[in-house]
Structure 1
Amino acid sequence: MPVPIALASQPTTQTGQIPDLTVIDELLPVLAADSLPRLIVLGADAALAAVLTHLMRTERLHVEVGYVPVETTYASRVYQTATGNAAAKIALEGRAIETPLIRDDTGTVLVGRAAITGIDGAKLEGEAYVDDTLLFSGLVTTMLISPTMTMPGVRARVRKGFRKRTWVHGRAAQLGTPGAIVTRDGITAERKVPRSTFYRFEQPWLLVR
């Protein structure tokens, strides 16, 4: 992945499409030595989600995080980060703001979009709520969940055929189902689940904007 000009003079660490946890761990002592630690993620939504998941699990959400996607992604739209060199300049020169951190019941952070579908292309069967509001009961094509940059932090909607319903906002989105497949930020889980919950974590993350 090409490094934007604005980041060319900055120290970089190469890793896979989804950052290896050992690579992140090697960077943490370096960041700890800085009074205002800032980590810039150059990659796709799954890379940002992996970094934030590790920071959350290791209780390091005080680290400022900049996001530099090469092209427009769901997360770049949510957090209004721009792309490429423009995003790199923001990540370097911007100010960190507290932003709702959305995770699910597997302890994985969501930054862009989650899509929940039925098994083997079938419709999704079940019942879902956003806080106390019924999102759907019965059969739908897909349930979509996304973070928001402001409180309450989570929004969800469903697709029925080619129709998209209005987003419903809340602190948490919960689904109960005979079986579903969850795709988080482009990464599809291998196992079906009987339930799925996405909710705002007790601590925010520090997004550089």
Structure 2
Amino acid sequence: MTYPIRPDAQPFAAVVLRFAGRRVPRPLAGLPVVDVTVPTDVDPASDAGRLIVLGTAAELAIVLARLLRADRLDVEVALVRRPWTARRARTGTARRVPLIRDETGAVLTRAGLWLPPDEARTVAGEAVVDDTQLFDGEVAGVRIEPIADVPGLRARVLTGPLRPRRWVTGRAAQLGTTGVTVVRDGVRASRPARRSTFYRHTKGWLRVQ
């Protein structure tokens, strides 16, 4: 059952945001539930003190992007991907961690990838993390991950399993290229880009742990 949030209602201490009709775990019983089918469904719940997301990393990113857009990064946010994490999502404490976004306003919560476009085998161009060059030339791809502390993210060039590349940490990872497919938390962009930047927002988000 979905419990609507009236515009004139007092804010709830916690609201469950349910993606794809997932079952609400028992520890979350009694909390108001909002079914999210489009990103704007998140907005009426942004007055809650805590949002509990039943979904994936990509769906968590949708919620954070809406909070970023509404300037509501003071709302605590928990992700429940497995039922046994539900109790911690309701009772755990929140810690402010870096929020990693890109130039489109999308948020990165788990990992981003710069991959070759469909017609290419490599990413050709130059990438830097802050003042450190990540590559100049052609590479198989790049992986970018948020980290829990400043400077905010880390990135490395993708190579074979026997040739690991070092991680480079920084505030921003920037790419200029002849063409790249950007993947955010497993979701591929609809068209190739020539530039892409992931960077730490000026204010972090409150992750419930």
Scaled by the length of structure 2, what TM-score is found? 0.84
> 1:6 is matched with which residue?
27
Superposed CA deviations along residues 72-96 of structure 1, whole A, max 9, x for unmatched, are xxxxxxxxxxxx32x2111111111
| Count of residue pairs brought into register by the alignment | 186
Amino acid at match of 1:174: Q
Q: Does 1:40 align with 2:52?
A: yes
Following the alignment from structure 1 to structure 2, what is the Cα–Cα distance between the partners of residues 197 and 22? 25
Q: Single out whichever of 3-12 and 167-176 deviates more from structure 2.
A: 3-12
CA apart distance, 1:2: 2.6
> 1:127 is matched with which residue?
126
> 1:23 is matched with which residue?
41
Following the alignment from structure 1 to structure 2, what is the Cα–Cα distance between the partners of residues 28 and 111? 19
Checking the alignment, whether the CA contact within 8 Å between 2:60 and 2:109 is kept in structure 1 is: yes
Identity of aligned residues (%): 47
Following the alignment from structure 1 to structure 2, what is the Cα–Cα distance between the partners of residues 140 and 164? 13
Q: Does 1:181 align with 2:181?
A: yes
CA apart distance, 1:159: 1.0
5+ long unaligned stretches in structure 2: 1-21
CA apart distance, 1:161: 4.1
Superposed CA deviations along residues 47-74 of structure 1, whole A, max 9, x for unmatched, are 100000010011011111111113xxxx
CA apart distance, 1:146: 0.6
Checking the alignment, whether the CA contact within 8 Å between 1:140 and 1:161 is kept in structure 2 is: no
Following the alignment from structure 1 to structure 2, what is the Cα–Cα distance between the partners of residues 106 and 45? 18
5+ long unaligned stretches in structure 1: 32-36, 71-83
- Structure 1 residues 161 and 126: alpha-carbon distance in aligned structure 2, compared to 1, 3 A threshold: farther
- Structure 1 residues 65 and 169: alpha-carbon distance in aligned structure 2, compared to 1, 3 A threshold: same
Amino acid at match of 2:131: D
> 2:109 is matched with which residue?
111
Q: How does 1:1-209 map to 2 (within 5 A)?
A: 1-16=22-37, 20-29=38-47, 31=48, 37-70=49-82, 84-85=83-84, 87-120=85-118, 121-162=120-161, 163-209=163-209
Scaled by the length of structure 1, what TM-score is found? 0.84
